[in-house]
């Protein structure tokens, strides 16, 4: 919204038909509200605890209302830059404290969140956060430059003070673009990864149900269904593990040389499923798969290996003589 208010046509419309200062105050309030929501989102991704949306909206609305009240109490204003008219209006320092304080707090929280989470993610799941973090850094530079410019502004001058010759509007534009692209890109990448994860785990779940049987009653929500699916996958793998053998790894490596570990495990599942279907007794020395199936990502890789990285020819070679 703050970026939209900077579009020349929109800015001229407000300056022409709204009271003086409306355009500047609207930009500031929109920016603060957006930053508060971004800061809360960043906090929730770091800690796992998210405040209720209505509380965040209430806080953003309260800060915005106080800023509007301070601006009205300090008026009247013209359509010139707000900082150029703030001299001799002490309430505007409270306005600036709310404005820049909320902005810096939100962007700093966002930057810290990006730094804490990026090392635990593959590139495809962190590039959006990296771009958004760059936007947060630019935004913090903008806040510092803007505050210094307000301190050094010459009373009576219609032009803002330029710190190092930098016009703050370009910093705001760069930060807005980077933050928008980064956040939208992160959400899109995460959504795509979630779809792939559901597809991979769905294939593993179907394999387990086909070889071991079972399948519970559908839950009351997608989250409950996913929980039940995960339990059924682990139960099915535990049943198949009883028919595994420690020398299966070497057997698969000979039959399908050069296979990575998750592909070898996928073929081991097929070996165990074949023995179980034949009615063979459980192995006296079953293989230990616990380290290979320690987390959700390992299950996802196993599901993908079963779906995309095993072949009919490879399966035939692995099962030959078993």
What confidence score (pLDDT) does residue 270 get?
A: 92
Q: Is residue 206 one of the residues assigned to a domain? A: no
Least Cα distance to 313 among 277, 270, 280 occurs for 270
Residue 215 in contact with residue 233, Cβ under 8 Å? Answer: no
pLDDT in tens, 246-281: 888 888 998 899 888 889 999 999 999 999 988 888
pLDDT in tens, 55-64: 888 888 898 8
* CA end-to-end span of the chain: 66
233 and 142 in a common domain: no
What confidence score (pLDDT) does residue 17 get?
A: 55
pLDDT in tens, 143-201: 888 877 777 766 655 555 565 556 677 888 888 899 889 889 888 888 888 888 889 98
181 and 82 in a common domain: yes
Q: Is residue 292 one of the residues assigned to a domain? A: yes
Q: Is residue 201 one of the residues assigned to a domain? A: no
Domain that holds residue 302: 213-319
pLDDT in tens, 13-46: 655 656 666 777 888 888 888 878 877 877 776 6
174 and 25 in a common domain: yes
244 and 286 in a common domain: yes
DSSP string, 25-84: HHHHHHHHHHHHHHHHHHHHHHHS----HHHHHHHHHHHHHHHHHHHHHT----SS-SGG
- Share the mean pLDDT of the chain: 80
Q: Is residue 77 one of the residues assigned to a domain? A: yes
List b or e across 182-209, with b for residues whose CB sees 16 or more CB atoms inside 10 angstroms: bbebbeebeeeeeeebbebbebbbebbe
Q: Is residue 236 one of the residues assigned to a domain? A: yes
Give percent of the chain with pLDDT exceeding 70.
81
**Total tally of structural domains belonging to the chain:** 2
**Averaged pLDDT, 305-315:** 88
Q: Which residue has the higher pLDDT, 132 or 295?
A: 132
245 and 175 in a common domain: no
**Averaged pLDDT, 132-143:** 87
173 and 278 in a common domain: no
Q: Is residue 256 one of the residues assigned to a domain? A: yes
pLDDT in tens, 78-104: 766 666 676 778 888 888 888 888 888
């Amino acid at each position: 919204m703050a970026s939209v208010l900077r579009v020349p046509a929109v800015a001229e419309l407000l300056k022409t038909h709204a009271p003086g200062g409306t355009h500047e105050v609207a930009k500031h309030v929109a920016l603060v509200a957006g930053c508060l929501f971004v800061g809360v989102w960043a906090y929730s991704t770091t800690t796992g605890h998210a405040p209720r949306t209505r509380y965040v909206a209430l806080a953003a609305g309260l800060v915005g209302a106080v800023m509007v009240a301070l601006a009205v109490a300090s008026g009247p204003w013209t359509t010139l830059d707000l900082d150029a008219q703030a001299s001799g209006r002490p309430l505007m320092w409270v306005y600036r404290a709310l404005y820049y304080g909320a902005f810096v707090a939100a962007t700093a929280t966002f930057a810290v969140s990006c730094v804490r989470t990026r090392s635990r993610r593959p590139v495809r799941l962190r590039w959006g956060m990296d771009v958004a973090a760059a936007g947060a850094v630019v935004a913090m530079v903008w806040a510092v430059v803007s505050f210094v410019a307000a301190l050094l502004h010459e009373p009576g001058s219609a032009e803002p003070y330029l710190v190092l010759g930098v016009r703050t509007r370009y910093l705001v534009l760069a930060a807005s673009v980077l933050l928008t692209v980064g956040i939208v890109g992160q959400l899109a990448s995460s959504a795509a990864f979630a779809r792939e994860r559901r597809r991979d785990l769905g294939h593993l779940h179907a394999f387990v149900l086909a070889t071991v049987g079972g399948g519970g009653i559908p839950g009351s929500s997608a989250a409950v269904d996913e929980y039940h699916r995960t339990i059924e996958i682990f139960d099915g793998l535990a049943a198949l593990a009883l028919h595994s053998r420690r020398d299966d790894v070497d057997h698969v490596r000979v039959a399908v040389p050069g296979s990575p570990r998750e592909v070898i495990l996928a073929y081991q599942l097929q070996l165990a499923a074949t023995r179980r279907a034949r009615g063979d007794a459980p192995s006296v020395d079953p293989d230990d798969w616990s380290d290979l199936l320690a987390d959700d990502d390992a299950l996802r890789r196993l599901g993908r290996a079963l779906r995309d990285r095993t072949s009919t020819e490879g399966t035939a070679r692995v099962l030959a003589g078993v």
